[in-house]
């Protein structure tokens, strides 16, 4: 796939803004519409934009699929760890064990922002992984 310099430049300029918006959605998901899933999809889409504009070879050099797989597995383990922390504090799985802050502030929802972050990273890695496999093999498996 060959891409023009205009497309590459626009993708390169838009990437930080799309990434920042995805992080905003993840971190403010407990205060406004958004959250881990929506922010993760936006983050995954930012990487897919670079993938489509620069091609598969350049993306494979920047993003190692083995590292992406390890990241996904580590995030799942961290999610389970958060759930077990709820059990170990005398509650049930994924029970909030952190103190609540003042309403309307970033740290007002206990461990919900942390849970949104975990879900956002998992969804971003999953979205990019699915797109990568579909594009790379194109029905050749």
Secondary structure of residue 17 in the 3-state scheme: helix
The whole-chain average pLDDT of the chain stands at 86
**Cβ neighbours for 76, distance < 8 A, ≥ 6 positions apart:** 122
Axis crossing angle, helix 112-137 with helix 36-54, rounded to the nearest 10: 30
| pTM: predicted TM-score of the whole model, two decimal places | 0.83
Instruction: Tell me the domain boundaries of the chain.
Output: 5-137
Note the pLDDT tens digit of each residue in 54-78.
888 888 888 788 888 898 899 999 9
The reported pLDDT for the residue numbered 102 is: 77
């Amino acid at each position: 796939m060959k891409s023009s310099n205009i497309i590459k430049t626009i993708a390169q300029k838009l990437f930080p803004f799309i990434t920042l918006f995805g992080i905003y959605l993840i971190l403010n998901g407990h205060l406004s519409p958004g959250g881990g899933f929506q922010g993760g999809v936006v983050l995954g889409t930012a990487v897919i934009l670079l993938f489509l504009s620069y091609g598969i070879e350049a993306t494979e050099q920047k993003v190692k699929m083995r590292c992406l797989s390890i990241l996904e597995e580590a995030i799942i383990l961290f999610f389970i760890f958060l759930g077990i922390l709820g059990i170990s504090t005398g509650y049930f799985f994924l029970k909030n064990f952190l103190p609540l802050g003042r309403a309307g502030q970033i740290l007002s929802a206990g461990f919900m922002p942390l849970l949104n972050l975990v879900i956002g990273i998992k969804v971003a890695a999953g979205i990019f992984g699915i797109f990568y496999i579909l594009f790379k093999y194109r029905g050749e498996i």
